[in-house]
Amino acid sequence: MTEHELIKGCIRQEPSCQRMLFERYAGKMMGVAMRYAQDNMEAEDMLQDAFIKVFQYIGQFKFEGSFEGWIRRIVVNTAIRHLERKKMSFKEIEDHSPHNPQIDPHAYMHLGEDDLLKLISQLPEGYRLVFNLSVIEGYSHEEIAAMLNIQAGTSRSQLVKARKMLQNQIMQLQKIAV
Amino acid sequence: MTNEAFDHITREKLKDYAAAIPAGLWEKIHVPAINAPQDPFDQFFKEKLQEITAPVSPELWNRIRPEEEKRRRIFFLPRKTSMMAASLLMLFIAGTVSAYIYFQQVRRSRNAEINATQTNQPNNNGTGTAGSATPGQNNTGPGNSSNPGTPAGAAASPVTTDAVDAGSSSTEQFSRENTRSSSGAADASANTVVFGKHRIGKIFRQQGTGTEASSTGNFTDSRDEDMFYAPSSRSNAALIPLQRKGHFASGERVVAYNNHAGSIKNIIICPSDKNLRNTDWDLEVFASPDLSFKTVSSNTASQQFMSRKDSSESARVGFTAGFRIVKPLNEHFLIKAGLQYAQINEHFTYKTADEIKTTTVITVRNITLANGTVVTVSDTSVLQQAVNKYNTVNNRYKSIDVPVLLGYQFGNDDLKIGINAGVVVNLNSSYKGVMLDSTLSPQPIDKNSSVGYKTNIGVGLYAGFNISKRINYNTSVFAEPYLRYNLSDITTPQSVYKQRFSVGGLSLGLRFNLNKH
């Protein structure tokens, strides 16, 4: 079944199409949700809410652009709303570690997806959110600022600090490994 | 120094002063060009994670699948109406089967009576060697029916005529008459009688040394005592005694003699011990692991609330335990009533935010100094994060009930199969655990909750299939898969949602006969 037929079936609320759509995209969207969540349970909550919205609003999909991108945006928006409900803050965290650690690419090139997800999940929520939106999803700071109702400068600052914290964590892992 | 001179020096010193720029300030404020090459570190994360897929819990689809599919899966997740329909169907089937078996039995005994009456009339058409029976010989006894033409001396040879006996008293009488008719009791044999397709009982045949004529004459005498006969389906006997009016109440008193057929010298009554066992009262003690099926619908609750509630709660195995007094109404029908305790278990999972998670990292390194000394250095760093904590609470829905059931059972003394159906009347219900309030926060279930729970959920329907095996003289073990459908919600009408439980389980227990000798 083509993607177009699948979407049409879901618009007609055919259970088999809805199930097929879920099975086709759930794994990838779970990967998205896991980057925003702190653990699997939270990611499943996000994904659950997101797919409910997908089935609810699929009639509004105009067949313009990527359908996967459309679902992805719903998942990301749902994750943001989810984190907002937790009264997420974008506080600057004081740290006295040297700025811009010079990290050798060899220090992180061997890291796998699970390692990276774990590192990201350990970031404070504001850092994690901005890092995901900016680095992975490719939103600009202005777009992030609008989405999160913050200043663009705050977004930039959070991204820098998130990156720095990740690099510090990678260096810590290296030390432990040594 | 004049004021003008001080100002001049200060101005000269600071005019071209440039302070050090805080590290990282540019990264915080600059806007990279759209086509600027991405940081390799960022690029690495993006490549690794952008297309990542993760395994999804198989349960997730059940939590998000649209209502339409839930409705279509009515069989697997019964809803209110289907549960009601299923219960009524089971009751209907139980009633129909019971009625069918009962009326079949009545009709069978009536037919037997009619057949016997017809057999007793002149000119009836017997089967087998019935042609040898003249109208005046309709009541030919077994001694005659085996072989009317057999000489008196030949009667001593084994004869395997089938016949019917329906009761011990009749057998005794028949035996007495037969003995009287024969010149001397020599041997007795018994064989199963087949009447139509139904195995009815046995007849004992006295093989005497008397003549055929005398034997026949004596059995003819027995007609005066209303001995009835029916055609034998497999013997060469023309007619077999079926029932003795006034002495044989019904097929209930059929006597089985298979195990004794070869050894009995005289007519020995070996009745079923169900006549010895007093079946007036039985006691059933049982326990059952249960699985609950929940139907929830919204009164005033939001969709988000219902969705969160659904994802927060998951069914766990509950149990039912109790006892029932059993009063047999007759051989097949019985009535049961007792007391039982039932508990439905459910896991409720909720998050508490801003829990402090402390991670301690200890890094141990060995450093070799220039003089060759190895020094062990350990660094300890502590990372504290605000995280969500997941809590799981076991919600318990308890009830004390009185089951009142009507049962139908069939089988033999050792193995019985039956159906039970009836009502379960709730005496009291109580609940313990945690639920969501209107702000999606967990709160204990109590009287002040936004959702009120009833302390009495009224009446439920019960249907079960019972199989029991006797393990000693007065004790049986039984298993009973059952379904209980509650007719009422456990929530009050003012609650933001409606919730109702139905329960399926497997009762395992013992049945004791209370009137043992």
ipTM for the assembly: 0.74
- Which of B44, B53, B387, B441 is the best substitution to test chain A (most A C-beta atoms within 10 A)? B53
In angstroms, the separation between the Cα of residue A167 and the nearest Cα of chain B is 9
For residues B295-303, give the mean pLDDT.
83
More confident residue, B444 or B483: B483
Q: Residue type at A33?
A: A
| Local confidence band at B417 (pLDDT 50, 70, 90 cut-offs) | very high
Question: What pLDDT does B28 receive?
Answer: 58
| CB neighbour list of residue A3: distance below 8 Å, 6 or more residues apart | A67
Kindly state the helix (H) or strand (E) to which residue B7 belongs, with its residue range. helix B3-15
For residues B189-202, give the mean pLDDT.
38
User: Measured between alpha carbons, how far is A160 from A169 in angstroms, rounded to an integer?
Assistant: 14
- In this structure, what token pair is assigned to residue B349? 């999972």
Q: For residue B338, how many C-alpha atoms fall within 13 Å in the half-sphere facing its CB?
A: 21
Contact between A15 and B55 using a beta-carbon 8 Å cutoff: no
- Which of A19, A34, A48, A58 is the best substitution to test chain B (most B C-beta atoms within 10 A)? A48
User: Measured between alpha carbons, how far is B416 from B369 in angstroms, rounded to an integer?
Assistant: 88
- In this structure, what token pair is assigned to residue A88? 């997420």
Interface contact A59, partner B, CB < 8 A: no
| B322 DSSP β-pair partners | B286, B340
More confident residue, B87 or A112: A112
More confident residue, B509 or B516: B509
Residue B336: pLDDT above 90? Answer: yes
Contact between B56 and A13 using a beta-carbon 8 Å cutoff: no
Interface contact A55, partner B, CB < 8 A: yes
Question: What pLDDT does B52 receive?
Answer: 83
| B229 DSSP β-pair partners | B241
Residue B244: pLDDT above 80? Answer: no
The highest-confidence range among A162-176, B85-99, B156-170, by mean pLDDT, is: A162-176
Least confident among A32-41, A117-126, B33-42, B435-444: B33-42
DSSP A26-79: HHHHHHHHHHHSSSHHHHHHHHHHHHHHHHHHGGG--S-S-HHHHHHHHHHHHH
Contact between B39 and A178 using a beta-carbon 8 Å cutoff: no
Interface contact A4, partner B, CB < 8 A: no
Instruction: Using alpha carbons, list the distances in angstroms from residue B22 to A53, A95, A177, B32.
Output: 45, 14, 32, 19
Residue B340: pLDDT above 80? Answer: yes
- Which of A41, A75, A96, A104 is the best substitution to test chain B (most B C-beta atoms within 10 A)? A41
Residue B259: pLDDT above 80? Answer: no
- Cβ(A38)–Cβ(A9) under 8 Å? no
More confident residue, B67 or A33: A33
Contact between B49 and A117 using a beta-carbon 8 Å cutoff: yes
Q: Are strands B415-432 and B459-472 parallel, antiparallel or unpaired?
A: antiparallel
Question: What pLDDT does B325 receive?
Answer: 93
Q: Are strands B333-368 and B313-328 parallel, antiparallel or unpaired?
A: antiparallel
Find the distance separating the first CA and the last CA of chain A, reported in whole Å: 52
Residue B206: pLDDT above 70? Answer: no
Q: Which residue of A lies nearest to B42 if distances are taken between CA atoms?
A: A135
DSSP A120-157: HHTS-HHHHHHHIIIIIS---HHHHHHHHTS-HHHHHH
User: Measured between alpha carbons, how far is B254 from B251 in angstroms, rounded to an integer?
Assistant: 5
- Cβ(B408)–Cβ(B96) under 8 Å? no
Query: Other C-beta atoms within 10 Å of B360: how many?
Result: 9
Question: What pLDDT does A91 receive?
Answer: 65
Question: What pLDDT does A98 receive?
Answer: 55
Of B29, B39, B49, the CB nearest to A35: B49
| Chain segment B445-483, per-residue pLDDT in tens | 765 565 678 888 889 999 999 999 988 878 899 999 999
Question: What pLDDT does B456 receive?
Answer: 87
Interface contact A65, partner B, CB < 8 A: no
Report which of B188, B168, B178, B190 is spatially closest to residue B235, judged by C-alpha positions.
B190
Query: Other C-beta atoms within 10 Å of B184: how many?
Result: 9
Please give the distance of CA A87 from its chain centroid, rounded to a whole number. 18
Percent pLDDT > 90 in chain B is 16
Contact between B52 and A31 using a beta-carbon 8 Å cutoff: yes
Q: Residue type at B486?
A: N
Question: What pLDDT does B324 receive?
Answer: 94
Residue B39: pLDDT above 70? Answer: yes
Q: Which residue of A lies nearest to B360 if distances are taken between CA atoms?
A: A172
Of B307, B361, B390, the CB nearest to A52: B307
- Exposed / middle / buried, residue A137 (Cβ in 10 Å: 0-12, 13-18, 19+): middle
Interface contact A90, partner B, CB < 8 A: no
- In this structure, what token pair is assigned to residue B450? 């936004």
Q: Residue type at B168?
A: S
Query: Other C-beta atoms within 10 Å of B439: how many?
Result: 8
Residue B149: pLDDT above 50? Answer: no
Least confident among A159-163, B7-11, B15-19, B437-441: B15-19
For residues B256-271, give the mean pLDDT.
43
Q: List the pLDDT tens digit at each of the 178 positions of chain A.
A: 788 888 999 998 888 888 889 889 999 999 899 888 888 888 888 898 899 899 889 998 888 889 999 999 999 999 998 888 776 666 665 555 555 556 777 777 888 888 888 888 888 888 888 999 998 888 889 999 998 888 888 888 888 888 888 888 888 877 776 6
Question: What single DSSP character describes residue A2?
Answer: -
Report helix, strand or coil for A7: helix
Least confident among A13-17, B111-115, B282-286, B418-422: B111-115
More confident residue, B179 or B270: B270
Percent pLDDT > 70 in chain B is 54
